[in-house]
Copies of this chain bind each other. A is one copy, B any other.
Amino acid sequence: MHAKNIDRRNIYEYYTLVYKIEREDLAEKAYEALKLMILRGELPSGEKLLQESLAENLGISRTPLCSALAKLEKEMLVTSLPRRGFYVNRLSLKELLDIYDIRLRLEPLGAGEAAERASASQIADLESAVNPPALAGVTENYRSFKEYDYRFHSLVMEISGNSFLSRMIRSFNIISLGNMQHFFKSPEQSIAEHRSLIEAIKHHDKTAAEKTMYTHIVHARQVIEKKLREENG
């Protein structure tokens, strides 16, 4: 069944790279679908996820859905209350700040690595992500902005070549975007910052890329920190 020139001992590594992408099971598809629904706000944070109806909507049975929910739980996108059900994770301000503390340390790391490694085609991908066709509606409504922002950050982390980092940051970005109902800074400013990050990456300037990403995230973090202080009086 498998290609003949692949050493038996390396079959694991081989399939890890190539085979996986094509053949996805229902649990993985449901997981992806739910993630997108959370990012889009179609499943608002705090909402209870009814297994029967969700499964029906997705056109699958509860078995793969359960696995999908288990995955989301470990990525902290949903919370499981045994015998009570799954809920889309709703973050307190403190928790949102916790996530930003993590992003603030990790995304600059990823941006720096991306600056070191980025190929010409990867840079082209980045540029097309911030150019007009991809920006439709982004400055007008927050929902479009979220998807755009998620795409851009995912792309940078992907380019870093650190798959652990990339997967983790993707989850965290969905959690945080899913828990934010309005612009934390103007979308124009975000896009401008994204563009200057691309410049740094283009010039393979690791330090500049790190700094730009840091500044980009620390702004939002400061807004959250201020809110939290106000909340606590």
**A106–B16 Cα gap in the complex (Å)?**
27
Contact of A102 among B25, B87, B106 (CB under 8 A): B106
Within 8 A of B (CB), among A97-113: 98-99, 101-102, 105-106, 109, 113
Binds B, one of A130-138, A161-169, A188-196, A220-228: A161-169
Does A90 touch B at the CB level, under 8 Å?
yes
For the complex formed, measure the closest distance between the CB of A30 and the CB atoms of chain B, giving whole angstroms.
11
Query: B16, A102: Cβ atoms under 8 Å?
Result: no
Please tell me how many copies of the chain the complex holds.
2
Decide if A83 touches B23 in the complex (CB within 8 Å): yes
Q: Which residues of B contact A161 (CB under 8 A)?
A: 98
Known contacts A98-B163, A101-B162; 6 additional CB pairs below 8 A are A23-B83, A24-B82, A25-B82, A74-B74, A98-B162, A102-B164
Chain A residues proximal to chain B, CB less than 8 Å: 12, 15-16, 19-20, 23-25, 27-28, 46, 63, 66-68, 70-71, 73-76, 79-84, 87, 90, 95, 98-99, 101-102, 105-106, 109, 113, 161-165, 167-168, 172
